[in-house]
Amino acid sequence: MILVCGGLADGVTELVCARLADSGYPYRLLDLAHYPAGYRVVWHWTDAGPAGVIAGSDWTLDLDAITGVYARFLGPEGRLPPEGDPEVTAALQFESDAGLMALLEDLRCPVVNRIGGGMSNNSKPYQALLLNRAGLNVPATLVTSDPAAARAFQGEHGEVIYKSLSGTRSIVRRLGPDQLTRLAFLRHGPAQFQAFVPGRNVRVHTVGDRVFATCIETEAVDYRYAHLDGLDVAMKPATLPAAVEAACLRAARDLDLLFAGIDLKETPDGDYFCFEVNPCPGFIYYERQTRQPISAALADLLNTRRPPAGLRSAVP
Amino acid sequence: MHLLLGHSWDSCCAGVLARLESRGLPARIVPAPLTPPARLVWRLDAAGLASRLDWDDQEVELAGVLVRGTGWLDPAGWDPADHTYMQAEMLAATLAWLTALPCPIVNRPSAALWYRGRASLMTWRTLLRRHGLPVPEQLVTNDPAEARAFGDRLAALGIAGAVYTPLTGEAGYLVATDADWQGLAALQARAPVCLGEPHGAPRPACIIGGQIVWDCDAPPDARALEPRLSRLAADAGLDFLEVAVAPLRRGLAVVRVDSMPMLEHFAPPAQNRILDHLTALLAPAAAPHAALEAVP
């Protein structure tokens, strides 16, 4: 039995549930919009690991019967409106999530994804170091609080983009004349700059040992926000060179991610550069555009009970 | 220079600073190394990684870093939303900068360690189990009857009550009376609670590099755990780790693991040994010697 932890109002979780149903794989949904309300949990840890149950209104799932877990935690906007003191509610929600995360860390079946694996996404330059070690090229990157260094970097590379350092979602923008006049603000704290890499975007989803590459054609600097600039986006399945595909799988394994969304760019010379790895990819956008069977592969993975070889287990 | 990333009120920072200075080694305690007027240039490209940090327009040449904090951006003068964003940015930059420094770093952070802070015992269970280290039974439940049954089972074994420990906090609360159990049940209506077996007096130990320092003379059964404790620290990638073992009904078990050891958990002789070993890790050329025992 597969356990899905997420909110049905979230399109990605909804798609995962639909695909599991289509595939004939039984699953139970722990609806995080409501959890823990409406559920009964009894998790007992001994030297042998966790044992116990999760029960919904009309079902009981033994932890030993779980073959795989798909988890997509929700922010406050995905939860039911708080009752009573919002601060107390938030603290109790945090405590509830912490218990669930601890359980997921300690289950032996495949978990997509364990919390520890996603932490690198909170620091893009840190993640870039790990990606580089995994054998993926990363664009020339500068993190600086020195305006002169930023200007010199632009002088060296010509076109330069800037984006957030942390996991805070930001729109990738070109460093233009307007931004250059504001470089003095860097003295308040560092920002991240990267050499602009020309070419086409390629989004790679690794699902266990399987790889799905999607090329994205657009004129936008950040294709996720192309519509804001009135630009079109077209997607189609792509095939990666074997070495790049192997490096993507290695990166996902190094980051302890059973399922990852990897952002690449293929230059006109055929080189590939990696920008970042998303530990909780919203793959629905790519699957709908290309009909690549990403969710079906994910469903198969969750039904296997055994994680692919080489993945590390939880390290705090 | 040695950077002690933390606060002067942290006895670990203060003790290491005193030892380094007594050896004539320059060192500074800095709570947030990248905040203005610091100037960071961190660059990764085809030529590799290069980073430079200037304080007061002088390049900081680091010989070692003791990480006792993650850096906190003073919110004064910031709009709250901007401060939250800039704090996240500063944390991200500091992690990347620290990770790539070529000097000794204790503890060299991983993203998991950096962002999860002081993880609860529950979070360490997988690693503890992997190394054969005994841990207490724990129960997470939102069912009051299950919680009470856990307490009753302990009571039948002669143990009065169970300990409620929030997974997001550090304190533990003994649940023993009917009023306690009723209060716990009220809490369970809103969130699952974590219960454990009460244990005897904890005996802390610190793993520093390859050394283990106990708070006082450890009994043989505690000493027998040393190889496994060393492997735990190595597997977690930590040079500096505190654990506490305590007696339970089935024997000794690990009841606390902390990647941010607290000197206050140890008596002065053990504190001195910890600080000596820590200083030796940060400044490898100079081994600890007896004269340093007198340094606070």
B173-201 pLDDT, tens digit per residue, is 999 999 999 999 999 999 999 999 999 99
Q: Residue B65's beta-bridge partner residues?
A: B3, B105
Cis omega (within 30 of 0) for bond into A303: no
CB A208 within 8 A of CB A308: yes
- Give the number of other Cβ atoms within 10 Å of residue B206's Cβ: 27
Q: How far is B49 from chain A (nearest CA, A)?
A: 9
As a whole number of angstroms, the distance between CA A173 and CA A165 comes to 13
What do you get for the CA distance between the two ends of chain A, in Å? 27
Q: Is B167 touching A (CB cutoff 8 A)? A: yes
Instruction: Say whether residue A142 is in contact with chain B using an 8 A CB cutoff.
Output: yes
Smallest CA–CA distance from B140 into chain A, residue: A43
How far CA A185 is from CA of A142, A161, A164, B80, in Å, comes to 16, 17, 15, 18
Nearest to A45 among B38, B111, B125 (CB): B125
In this predicted complex, what is the ipTM?
0.90
B63 alpha-carbon distance from chain centroid? 22
Position A241 scores a pLDDT of 97
Beta strands in B145-281 (DSSP E): 162-164, 173-175, 193-196, 203-208, 211-214, 240-248, 251-258
Q: What are phi and psi of A274, to 5 degrees?
A: -105, 135
In chain A, residues 64-93 whose CB comes closer than 8 Å to chain B: 89, 91-93
Q: B-contacting residues of A 91-120, CB under 8 Å?
A: 91-96, 98-99, 102-103, 105-106, 116, 119-120
Task: Dig out the tokens for A316 from the structure.
Answer: 């705090």
Would you say residue B269 has pLDDT above 90?
Answer: yes
Is residue B193 within 8 A of residue B184, CB to CB? The reply is yes
Neighbours of B270 (CB within 10 A): 18
Amino acid at site B148? R
Taking the Cβ of residue B74 and every Cβ of chain A, the question of whether any pair is shorter than 8 Å is answered with no
Q: What is the pLDDT along chain A (316 residues), one digit of tens a residue?
A: 999 999 988 999 999 999 999 999 999 999 999 999 999 999 999 888 899 999 999 999 999 999 999 999 988 788 887 678 888 888 899 999 999 999 999 998 999 999 888 899 999 999 999 999 999 999 999 999 999 999 999 999 999 999 999 988 777 888 888 888 888 888 888 999 999 999 999 999 999 999 999 999 887 777 777 777 787 888 999 999 999 999 999 999 999 999 999 999 999 999 999 999 999 999 998 999 999 999 999 999 999 876 665 555 444 4
The 3-class SS string of chain A reads: CEEEEECCCCHHHHHHHHHHHHHCCCEEEEECCCCCCCCEEEEEEECCEEEEEEECCCCEEEHHHCCEEEECCCCHHHCCCCCCCHHHHHHHHHHHHHHHHHHHHHCCCCEECCHHHHHHHHEHHHHHHHHHHCCCCCCCEEEECCHHHHHHHHHHHCCEEEECCECCCCCCEECCHHHHCCHHHHHHCCEEEEECCCCEEEEEEEECCEEEEEEEECCCCCHHHHHHHCCCCEEEEECCCHHHHHHHHHHHHHCCCCEEEEEEEECCCCCEEEEEEECCCCCHHHHHHHCCCHHHHHHHHHCCCCCCCCCCCCCC
pLDDT, residue B296, reads 36
Q: What is the average per-residue pLDDT within B84-96?
A: 94
Give B-chain residues touching A314 at CB under 8 angstroms.
Answer: 123, 126-127
CA distance A33 to chain B (A): 14
The partner residue sitting opposite B92, judged by closest CB among A124, A129, A316, is: A124
- Determine the pLDDT at residue A34: 92
**How far apart, in whole angstroms, are the C-alpha atoms of residue A144 and residue B73?**
16
Distance in angstroms (rounded) separating the CA atoms of residues B268 and B293: 10
Q: Kindly state the average pLDDT of the residues B67-79.
A: 88
Would an 8 Å CB–CB cutoff place B118 in contact with chain A?
Answer: no
C-alpha A266/C-alpha A197 separation (Å) is: 8
Dihedral sign from CA coordinates of A71, A76, A77, A82? positive
**Cβ atoms of residues A66 and A2 within 8 Å:** yes
Average pLDDT on B152-163 reads 94
Distance from the Cα of B100 to chain A's closest Cα (Å) equals 8
Cα dist from B159 to B50, B152, B246, whole Å: 58, 9, 15
Instruction: Using CB atoms, pick whichever of B89, B99, B257 lies closest to residue A165.
Output: B89
Instruction: Tell me, yes or no, if A185 comes closer than 8 A to chain B by beta carbon.
Output: no
Q: What residues of chain A lie within 8 A of the CB of B139, using their CB?
A: 42-45
> Sheet of B105-106: strands edge to edge?
B27-30, B2-5, B64-67, B105-106
A144 touching chain B per CB within 8 A: yes
- Which chain B residues contact residue A125 at CB under 8 A? 42, 44, 92-93, 96
Strand partners, A256: none
User: What mean pLDDT comes out for the span B143-163?
Assistant: 95
Residue from the list A124, A125, A145 with its beta carbon closest to the beta carbon of B38: A145
Strand partners, A194: A141, A161
Chain B residues with CB inside 8 Å of A141's CB? 43-45
Q: Which residue out of A30, A41, A47 would a mutagenesis test of the B interface target, given it has the greatest number of B Cβ atoms within 10 Å?
A: A47
Per-residue confidence (pLDDT) for residue B95, from 0 to 100: 96
- A3 CA to chain B: closest CA distance, Å? 18
- Using alpha carbons only, give the angle A227, A228, A234 rounded to the nearest 5 degrees: 20
Residues 249-268 of B with CB under 8 A from A: 257, 259
Is B85 part of the contact surface with chain A (CB cutoff 8 Å)? yes
Burial of residue B243 (number of CB atoms within 10 Å: 0-12, 13-18, 19+):
buried
Residues A185-210 pLDDT 10s: 888 889 999 999 999 999 999 999 99
CA distance linking residue A164 with residue A168, whole number of Å: 7
CA distances from B168 to A143, B27, B118, B130 (A): 33, 34, 9, 24
Taking contacts as CB-CB distances below 8 angstroms, the residues of chain A near B234 are none
A54 and B CB contact within 8 Å: no
Strand order in the sheet with A68-71: A27-31, A2-6, A68-71, A111-112
- Residue B286: Cβ within 10 Å count: 15
Measure CA B110 to chain center.
Answer: 13
Please tell me the number of Cα atoms within 13 Å of A35 on its side-chain side. 28
Q: Residue B289: pLDDT above 60? A: no
* Adjacency order of strands within the sheet including B240-248: B211-214, B203-208, B240-248, B251-258
Per-residue pLDDT at B212 exceeds 70? yes
Contact A316 B123 (CB under 8 A): yes
What value does the mean pLDDT of chain B take? 92
